Chains A and B, each alone.
Chain A
Amino acid sequence: MTAILEAQSVSMVVGGATLVDGIDLCVAPGEMVAIVGPNGAGKSTLLRMLSGDLRPTRGQIRLKQRDIESYPPRLLAFHRAMLSQHVNVTFPFTVEEIVHMGAGDAGRAAAQRLVDAALGEVDLAHFSQRQLPTLSGGEQQRAHFARVLVQLACGEAQHGPGLLLLDEPTSSLDMRHQIDLVETAKRRAQNGTAVIAVLHDLNLAMRFADRIVLLHRGKLAVDGGRSDAITAETIRRIFEVDVKIDYTDAGVPFLLPQTMRPAAVQ
């Protein structure tokens, strides 16, 4: 199958500093890719370039065989949906109104069905009439995820499998909702959507992603399957932390930081 997204030697230079340096990335329909790396590795910058929001200094990004810069915003929104890290809503829109914004100009009844389904999926159906600014940070993040899901569904109904970009979607969620969110994204991938998520939690990344892309100082350090991408050696080299990697009964790798030296614990 042909790739949904192809990035060719994409770089971003801001004021002499190279934030992203010559990254190649190709994502197929149905694939779930996790981008991981230490702070300042260029993860969010890369994601914003992949969304068409930032224009790369060098290199090219093609979405469904077409230069991403040639899409008008409305058309682009049908092919890719993106959840940003911090969205701050100042006016008292209700949760339902915010989620409706994902539907664009879709028909009233169809949009309402999608909105209700998405609100159910993020476990916010009971809060649909609450004003968004009165919710907690995690609940707001889930509402925005619902909005992005509606946008994705509207686009896919017309144009087939699209691209879902998530920038640290679990940063303010509790454990249960972290897993809920990543599982929801995973279900989209199983239906053909190409999913790219910047994740901080390496365990979540290894548990759900088909592929892990590890960035280090703007460069692509590792790109591979979950068991061969993450080794204790790479983690020590890039994150400067000693870890122990073990496997669950199902064969899924998980990792435990070993920084708590016995001497420090007293």
Chain B
Amino acid sequence: MTVLTEGNAKRRSGYALRPPASLTLICLFAALAGAALIALTVGAAGIPLARLPAALGLWGDAAAGPSLARDQLVLWSIRIPRIGAAAMIGALLAASGAIMQGLFRNPLADPALVGVSSGGALAAAAAIVFTDSQIGQNFRFMQHQLLPIAAFAGSLATTVILYSIASRSGRTSIAIFLLAGIAIAAIANAGIGLLVFIADDRQLRDITFWLLGSLSGATWPKLATLAPVLGLAAIACLSIARGLDVLVLGEAEAFHSGVDVERLKRISIVLVSAMTGVAVSVCGVVGFIGIVVPHLLRLVIGPAHRLLLPASMLLGAVLLVGADTLARTIVAPAEMPIGILTAAIGAPFFLAMLLRQRGLVSL
């Protein structure tokens, strides 16, 4: 008890008390395993924990009865790809938020908030309408590949425009950045609205799916798109971690400290765009994961990116697996779009952050 109050007093007076990195990562891995286990068992077709090993083909009585075949079907063709997609997308969104915040040196930056996701969604929606049109018909067979590429290109274009508007001679204005983000999101949403307007019924259904965000379309081929991007992103994250740390001093100071700032910015922008774009191409616009996760982690483990980025990936995965499980059970047998759920939780959180920072951030 004494230790606890002493710790609280220290934390309040500005001292940093941080758990060891290994403990943090182990706890997050355990949380992810727990979330995945719960997600496997609950849903429209419940699979009790006792039947899970047999259905997964691990152990247990293989001839458990009539429910086994149904369990296996539900698990392998619906639930596992969906949980996998939720985990990977959560990881991508949280880490891309952390990178963007490092790049702009501001904890309020988030790809979904400043229109990067909308830019990706606009390009993806355009790709849907295009592949369905007379001219684009020939490309229909490659829609699976085209959507992530289009979403990546849309996100990249948005991020580059945003960066060039917000930064002038090495200084980034966070006010201009956020306002430009709002304008760009508005333009992208207008474009999406236009596409909705001209789309026919089938296209409309596909596009609506992007607007609300849902993981119900997760399939094994989509996992195959997500996995390599996540793997490459994880490696790239480690290589830019130190640079992002030093960038907190400002671009000029980072250069003085020996960081190749231009290169770091290019890598970060491409990385954020690729991670956001591929996530958007699978599940549409899911906001606030990128802002909530890194912020919570910074409070506990500190801002050093070498740990923050992998920890963000893990906690982002935990959060989105949890949110998706909630989304598909809360109004069962119907399903709530996950974008609505994350916004309902994330937006008040964002407002709370703003209130806390009111004195510190000058726009």
Contact = CB atoms under 8 A, between A and B. Distances in A.
Contacts of A80: 256
A84 B257 contact: no
Contact of B257 (A77, A88, A131): A77
Contact of A77 (B14, B258, B360): B258
Interface string B255-296: 111111100000000000000000000000000000000000
Interface string A43-85: 0000010011100000000000000000011111110111010
A167 B242 CA distance: 25
A144 B252 CA distance: 14
Given A88-B250, A90-B107, A130 B258 contact: no
Interface stretch (A34-42, A96-104, A222-230, A245-253): A96-104
B106 A73 contact: no
Interface in B207-263: 242, 245-246, 248-250, 252-253, 255-261
The secondary structure that dominates the A interface is mixed
A134 interface: yes
Contacts of B250: 84, 87-88
Interface in A102-145: 102, 104-105, 129-131, 133-135, 144
Contacts of B304: 93, 97
Contacts of B249: 87, 89, 98, 101, 144
B105 interface: yes
A131 B14 contact: yes
The secondary structure that dominates the B interface is loop
Contact of B248 (A93, A94, A102): A93
B278 to A, nearest CB: 27
A146 to B, nearest CB: 13
A74 B302 contact: no
A73 B255 contact: yes
Nearest to A86: B250
Contacts of B51: none
B106 A74 contact: no
24 contacts: A53-B252, A53-B255, A73-B258, A73-B259, A73-B261, A74-B259, A74-B260, A80-B256, A84-B250, A87-B250, A89-B248, A90-B105, A91-B105, A91-B298, A92-B16, A93-B302, A97-B245, A101-B246, A104-B258, A129-B15, A130-B16, A131-B15, A147-B257, A151-B257
Interface of A: 48, 51-53, 72-78, 80-82, 84, 87-94, 97-98, 101-102, 104-105, 129-131, 133-135, 144, 147, 151
The 6 closest A-B pairs by CB, nearest first: A77-B258, A134-B14, A91-B303, A82-B256, A74-B258, A94-B16
